[in-house]
C-alpha cells in the first residue's frame, strides 16, 4: 500500500496548480482577446470522463491522458506551427491547474475517488 502524502505536500501541489491556472489565464488574455473561447473550452477536458462508460480502467486512463500537463505542453509546442493552438493550450493548462488546486488529481485505475493528491471529498 502506498504511503499517503503529507498535508503540507498536498497543499504545495494544490498551490502549484493554482499558480499554473493563474499564469495560463493571464497568458490566454495576453494572446487572445475575449472570453468566448475560454468559456467554450474551459470544461472541455472533462469530456474525457466519458471513458468511464467503458470501465474504470479506460476511464482513468482517458482522464489521466487529458489531465496531464505533458499533452497540453504538446499542443503548446504545436502552437509554434499553428499559432491558433497557443490559446487552446493555455485554456487546457488552466483547466488542469484549477482541477489540481481543487484537489482533483490524476485518477487511480482501481478506485474512482482516489487520486495522486489523495482521496477526493471528505477525509476519513
* Start-to-end C-alpha separation, the chain: 17
Q: Look at residue 33 and tell me whether its pLDDT is greater than 80.
A: no
On whether the pTM is more than 0.85, the answer is: yes
| Measured distance CA(121)–CA(113) in Å, rounded | 8
Query: How far from the centroid of its chain's Cα atoms is residue 86's Cα?
Result: 16
Express each pLDDT in 14-29 by its tens digit. 999 999 999 999 999 9
pLDDT-based confidence at residue 99 (cuts at 50, 70, 90): very high
Closest CA to 32 of 75, 80, 91: 91
Cα–Cα distance for residue pair 57/104, rounded to 1 Å: 17
What is the DSSP secondary-structure string of 1-26?
A: -PPPPPHHHHHHHHHHHHHHHHHHHH
Asked whether the predicted pLDDT for residue 98 surpasses 50, the reply is yes
41-94: per-residue pLDDT in tens? 999 999 999 999 999 999 999 999 999 999 999 999 999 999 999 999 999 999
Contact 28, 38 (CB under 8 A): yes
C-alpha cell at 32: 487572445
Amino acid at each position: 500500500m502506498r504511503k499517503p502524502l503529507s498535508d503540507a505536500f498536498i497543499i504545495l501541489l494544490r498551490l502549484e496548480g493554482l499558480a499554473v491556472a493563474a499564469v495560463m489565464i493571464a497568458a490566454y488574455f495576453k494572446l487572445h482577446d475575449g472570453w468566448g473561447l475560454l468559456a467554450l473550452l474551459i470544461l472541455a477536458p472533462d469530456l474525457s470522463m466519458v471513458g468511464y462508460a467503458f470501465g474504470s480502467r479506460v476511464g482513468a486512463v482517458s482522464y489521466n491522458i487529458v489531465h496531464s500537463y505533458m499533452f497540453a505542453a504538446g499542443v503548446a509546442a504545436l502552437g509554434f506551427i499553428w499559432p491558433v493552438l497557443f490559446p487552446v493550450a493555455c485554456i487546457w493548462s488552466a483547466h488542469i491547474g484549477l482541477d489540481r488546486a481543487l484537489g482533483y488529481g490524476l485518477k487511480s485505475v482501481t478506485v474512482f475517488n482516489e487520486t495522486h493528491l489523495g482521496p477526493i471529498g471528505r477525509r476519513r
